[in-house]
Amino acid sequence: MLYSWRMAKRATEGLTERLAAGDRRALARVISLVEREDPAAKEVLAAIYPRTGEAVTVGFTGPPGVGKSSIIAKLIRLYREEGKRVGVVSVDPSSPFSKGAILGDRIRLSDHFLDSGVFIRSMGSRGHLGGLAGGSRLAALAMEAAGFDVVLYETVGVGQGEVEVASAADTVVLALQPGSGDAVQALKAGVMEIADVFCVNKADDPRAKDQKRQVRQMLEIGNELSPNPWTPPIVLTRGDTGEGVDELKREIERHREYLKESGEFEKRRRESLKSFVLLWATSRLQKEMREHLERQDEGTMERVYRRELDPISASEKIYREV
């Protein structure tokens, strides 16, 4: 244990200072440590955490192919025109074979790769539910500590399971596409309820306005059942040309102002951190229980297979032993 601590300490020497100075290589290295679950990551993150909490955080979610990456690319340009540094955490599906990220969507962000004021990191979901990779929150914290003013999350794009983005970002944008009426019905019990701003992309499609009307009707019905002081705006955009993205940016800023004026901002941040702490603790516990079962207590599962021990009793046994 002492050896591991010394190795982690040596690996992080000077890394925190370089990260705080905006060193992109240091930032990339810290995120790599996070992804590998390297013990050194804990040392760095403990040191940089006090420097975080000021960045604007926006989560983009929605079904695959809706154009999230294209919209984000145009939004980045608007933020850069204001002189703001932008970090992007893009979570892609993982290959079932290599567990690596499938990075096809990053092509749409290629215009910003050479911009020193933009840092884009793709991360594989590696089976992590909730639309975000396990280390995406920590990657965003590292970007904040490195001086980035805006951090954008782009989720994997799997549907209802993406609600975790609501606890990661101050504002959640749900992107939809024309003609997806059935998809909206399927999403309404999950992602629809966490969206702060709606974006109907591909506005040149003749069905775009009808899609906007359908979403508005659903929101009105939902508000009658459960009144909400914030009415999510619905913006028509075109990711290919940038049409409507400036309006989208204004609505994101308006939502942030609402959160601060209403007192919801601090409440949301507190709930966000609580969710993250519990999520991380649960993840670690799950990992330890799995390792215990696979390495030290294979006999328990053998008894379950032979119907000598029921699954719930087996679970409680493992929980007590870990």
**Whether domain 52-262 has CATH 3.40.50.300:** yes
Label residue 177 exposed, middle or buried (CB < 10 Å: 0-12, 13-18, 19+): buried
Answer yes or no: are the C-beta atoms of 111 and 88 closer than 8 Å: no
Residue range 226-279, pLDDT digits in tens: 788 899 999 999 999 999 999 999 999 999 999 999 999 999 999 888 888 887
- According to DSSP, the β-strands at 118-124 and 171-176 are unpaired
Length of the chain: 322
Domain extent listing, the chain: 1-51, 52-262, 276-321
C-alpha span between 175 and 172 (Å, rounded): 10
With a threshold of 0.85, does the pTM exceed it?
A: no
Answer yes or no: are the C-beta atoms of 132 and 155 closer than 8 Å: yes
C-alpha span between 239 and 200 (Å, rounded): 10
Residue range 134-168, pLDDT digits in tens: 678 899 999 999 999 999 998 866 554 456 666 78
One-letter identity of residue 151: V
C-alpha span between 242 and 264 (Å, rounded): 31
Q: How many CB atoms lie within 10 A of CB 134?
A: 21
Residue range 155-207, pLDDT digits in tens: 866 554 456 666 789 999 999 988 766 555 545 556 677 889 999 999 999 99
Q: How many CB atoms lie within 10 A of CB 162?
A: 27
